[in-house]
Amino acid sequence: MKQVIPPSARLRIISRIKTAVLEHHFSIENLDLNSWCREVDLQTPALAELPDDGMFEDGIRDCLSKLKSSHTDFYRNGRNPIRPEHTIGATLRSVTCFDGQLWMFLDVFEDGPAARAGISPGHLLVSVNGISANPPDVPVFRFGGEYELTVITSKIGEVRNVAVIVPQPKSTRPRLPFVEPKSLSHRMLTERVGLLKITFFSGMLGIRFSRILDRAFESLKAQGCDRLIVDLRGCLGGSLGFARLVSYLCPNRVPIGYDITRKRQKVGYDPAGLPKVRMPASKVGVLLRLAQFSIRDKSLVLLTQGLGEQAFHGHVVVLINEYTSSAGEMAAQFAKDTKLATLVGQKTAGLVLGSAIFDVGNGYMLYLPVFGWYRPDGSPIEGSGVIPDVVVDADPKSLIEGNDL
């Protein structure tokens, strides 16, 4: 990387990072942030004089890694994300087959770049642009790029080349850059069993997602759905829209969990004394809530909306895996705790903190967790994940034959 930010600018960036961490960073373990800052101070002279901006960025990320929290990153505007699910719309798992280690496409998001290229779960990645792509090195894809992938598409080793085109991210609001996937899809599997696949809880506050979800449920119920599978495998998380999903799982208003800000964590709190709030059902409701909490601490207990009885109540299965994260985990944990659904699959990622983005100068952004999420009993999901009721792993042989559910 040729561009070099002068030492004086780097010092300002580091100072802003320290200030943001001290004021806003949320740690489940209640980390000693002053001690962290002293460690950063020891490394600051060397960071300021590094000959390459890439080395400076890596050094800052190394410092941030010692905060031991999810939703933490340091990047420059326009940076390409590391994970394939943020670019080509697919997750990868390392598997042993054909006498070696290969990346298997595990979750392939509907209508995403990988899916449009004809890639399906179970396909095996051989190379990218002619260069072998083997675990543990994760292949990198850039926004606006076009890639030729060589993939194995059958259990007997049939190989074909596909072209994957990665678009530019469309969102202009401050968040980690990624290609936003189609939020959900639905269909009937049998005359009575409906499938709801959720990849991303779209929209900043969940209102847009809620409307899409409502239409999906209306369609499923009109087709006689009284058994429901909610597929959260590979779910990237997203917005408050997850509260609308879990509201469909129970008839009454009950606590989903509660969030705690850094400020409230420092002074102490009693969960019983936190305000109880249900997700607003309209933009007007959102504006009223924003006005209400603009002058007070944002720690609160989130309630379901009380949507009444549904034909599928008592007959719900939720699918999860190691790529289910953030809001997807919050939904899954609620379903398990309340016994409103049976969880099937693999333990989730354990990445459940609310985040914000801070401009720290020279085009750099700091992505930082600013509040924690807790189950009603006071235990966190962050770092531990959600354990399924029934452990089932994806079978590569079945996936490559097109057998998933």
Residue 124 lies in a domain: yes
Residue 179 lies in a domain: no
CATH of the domain at 292: 3.90.226.10
pLDDT tens, 133-192? 999 999 989 889 999 999 999 878 899 999 999 998 876 666 678 899 999 999 999 999
Same domain, 271 and 334: yes
Residue 210 lies in a domain: yes
Same domain, 270 and 338: yes
Same domain, 166 and 293: no
Q: Based on the number of CB atoms within 10 Å of its own CB, is 334 exposed (0-12), middle (13-18) or buried (19 or more)?
A: buried
Q: Which of 170, 198, 218 is the last residue of a domain?
A: 170
**Residues with pLDDT less than 50, the chain:** none
Asked if residue 338 lies in contact with residue 359, where contact means CB atoms within 8 angstroms, the answer is no
Residue 221 lies in a domain: yes
Q: Distances from the Cα of 373 to the Cαs of 107, 253, 257, 333, 380, in angstroms?
A: 26, 19, 7, 11, 6
**Domain encompassing residue 145:** 84-170
Same domain, 225 and 332: yes
Q: What is the model's pLDDT at position 296?
A: 82
Please give the tally of structural domains in the chain.
3
Same domain, 227 and 270: yes
Same domain, 327 and 277: yes
Residue 2 lies in a domain: no
Residue 178 lies in a domain: no
The one-letter code for the residue type at 281 is A
Same domain, 279 and 206: yes
Q: Which of 137, 170, 203 is the last residue of a domain?
A: 170
Same domain, 107 and 198: no
Q: What is the model's pLDDT at position 61?
A: 95
Q: What is the model's pLDDT at position 146?
A: 95
Same domain, 197 and 251: yes
Tokens of 143: 């926004």
The reported pTM is 0.93
Residue 289 lies in a domain: yes
Residue 74 lies in a domain: no
pLDDT tens, 175-199? 678 899 999 999 999 999 999 999 9
Same domain, 244 and 114: no
CATH of the domain at 158: 2.30.42.10
Q: Which of 114, 139, 170 is the last residue of a domain?
A: 170
Q: How far does the chain reach from its first CA to its final CA, in angstroms?
A: 46
Same domain, 239 and 92: no
Same domain, 208 and 268: yes
